A and B are shown apart, each in its own frame.
Chain A
Amino acid sequence: MRQPKKQISSVEVRSFGHKSNLFFNILLAIFAFSCLLPLIFIIIISLTSEQSLLADGYQFFPKHWSLAGYEYLATMGGQLLNALGITVLVTVFGTLVNATFTSTYAYSISRSSFKYRKFFTVFCLITMLFTPGMVANYIVMTNLLQLKDTIWALILPLAVSPFNIIVMRTFFKRQVNESIIEAARIDGAGEMRIFLKIVLPLAVPGIATISLFAALGYWNDWFNALLYIQDSHLVPLQYLLMKIQSNIEMLTQNAAQGAQYAGGMANIPQEATRMAMVVISVLPIAISYPFFQKYFVKGLTIGGVKE
Chain B
Amino acid sequence: MQGVNSTVKAKVKYKKRHPSFASRFKSNLPLLLFVIPGAIWMIFFFYIPIFANVVAFQDFHFSAGGFLESLRTSSWVGFKNFEFLFSSNAAWVITRNTLLYNLGFIVLNLIISVFFAIVMSQLRNKRLIKVYQTSMLLPYFLSWVVISYFVYAFISPNQGLINSLLTGSGGKAISWYNAPQYWPFILLFIGTWKSIGYNSILYFASAMGVDPTLYEAAEIDGANKWQQIKHVTIPALVPLMTLMTILAIGNIFRADFGLFYQVPQNSGSLYNVTSVLDTYIFNGLTSTGDIGMSSAAALYQSFVGFVLLMISNAVVRKIDPDSALF
A: residues with CB less than 8 A from B are 8-11, 13-18, 20-21, 24-25, 27-29, 31-36, 38-39, 41-42, 45, 53, 56-60, 100-102, 104-105, 107-109, 111, 114-116, 120, 123-127, 129-140, 142-146, 156-157, 159-160, 162, 165, 190-192, 195, 216, 219-223, 227, 238-239, 241-242, 245-246, 271, 274-275, 278, 281-282, 285-286, 289-290, 293, 297, 300-301, 305-306
B121 proximity list for chain A (CB < 8 A): 14
- Give Cα A2–Cα B225 distance, bound, in whole angstroms: 34
**A101-B41 in contact (CB<8A):** yes
A13 proximity list for chain B (CB < 8 A): 212, 215-216, 219
Partner of B136, one of A32, A134, A157, A195: A32
B163 proximity list for chain A (CB < 8 A): 57
**B53-A124 in contact (CB<8A):** no
A131's closest neighbor in chain B, by CB? B302
**B37-A15 in contact (CB<8A):** no
B183 proximity list for chain A (CB < 8 A): none
Partner of B38, one of A11, A143, A160, A239: A160
Partner of B281, one of A56, A134, A139: A134
Q: Given that A8-B209, A238-B143 are known contacts, is A42 also in contact with B150, CB under 8 Å in the complex?
A: yes
- Give Cα A305–Cα B291 distance, bound, in whole angstroms: 36
**A115-B126 in contact (CB<8A):** no
Of B8-16, B24-32, B84-92, B98-106, the stretch lying at the interface with chain A is B24-32
- Give Cα A167–Cα B152 distance, bound, in whole angstroms: 36
- Give Cα A102–Cα B215 distance, bound, in whole angstroms: 39
**A130-B306 in contact (CB<8A):** yes
Q: Given that A33-B135, A290-B134 are known contacts, is A134 also in contact with B278, CB under 8 Å in the complex?
A: yes
B266 proximity list for chain A (CB < 8 A): 246
B: residues with CB less than 8 A from A are 24, 28, 30-32, 34-35, 37-39, 41-42, 44-46, 48-50, 52-53, 55-56, 60, 62-63, 66-67, 70, 116, 119-126, 128, 131-139, 141-146, 148-150, 152-154, 156, 158-161, 163-164, 193, 196-197, 201-202, 205-206, 208-209, 212, 215-216, 219, 225, 228, 243, 254, 257-258, 262, 265-266, 278, 281-282, 285-286, 291, 294-295, 298-299, 301-302, 305-306, 309, 325-326
- Give Cα A253–Cα B265 distance, bound, in whole angstroms: 21
Looking at chain B's contact residues, the main secondary structure is: helix
Minimal beta-carbon separation of B39 from chain A (angstroms): 6
Q: Given that A133-B53, A133-B295 are known contacts, is A190 also in contact with B161, CB under 8 Å in the complex?
A: no
Minimal beta-carbon separation of B160 from chain A (angstroms): 6
- Among A31, A143, A216, A281, max chain B CB count under 10 A is at A143
Apart from A28-B132, A108-B34, 16 more pairs, CB < 8 Å: A13-B215, A14-B228, A29-B132, A38-B150, A41-B150, A100-B37, A104-B34, A105-B37, A123-B42, A134-B282, A140-B44, A143-B70, A144-B44, A289-B134, A293-B137, A301-B205
- Give Cα A22–Cα B138 distance, bound, in whole angstroms: 24
**A57-B161 in contact (CB<8A):** yes
Minimal beta-carbon separation of A39 from chain B (angstroms): 7
**B66-A220 in contact (CB<8A):** no
- Give Cα A301–Cα B116 distance, bound, in whole angstroms: 17
19 pairs, A vs B, C-beta closer than 8 Å? A16-B123, A18-B124, A27-B119, A53-B159, A101-B37, A109-B35, A125-B326, A134-B282, A134-B298, A135-B56, A135-B281, A135-B291, A137-B49, A138-B285, A143-B70, A191-B30, A220-B141, A220-B144, A222-B145
- Give Cα A246–Cα B265 distance, bound, in whole angstroms: 7
**A144-B35 in contact (CB<8A):** no
A145 proximity list for chain B (CB < 8 A): 44
**A156-B205 in contact (CB<8A):** no
- Give Cα A246–Cα B145 distance, bound, in whole angstroms: 11
Partner of A135, one of B39, B70, B294: B294
A300 proximity list for chain B (CB < 8 A): 201-202, 205
A105 proximity list for chain B (CB < 8 A): 34-35, 37-39
- Give Cα A172–Cα B306 distance, bound, in whole angstroms: 28
**A286-B30 in contact (CB<8A):** no
- Give Cα A142–Cα B209 distance, bound, in whole angstroms: 47
Partner of A136, one of B55, B152, B205: B55
- Give Cα A130–Cα B139 distance, bound, in whole angstroms: 28
**B159-A132 in contact (CB<8A):** no
**A165-B38 in contact (CB<8A):** yes
- Give Cα A32–Cα B145 distance, bound, in whole angstroms: 21
**B34-A107 in contact (CB<8A):** yes
B285 proximity list for chain A (CB < 8 A): 134-135, 138, 227
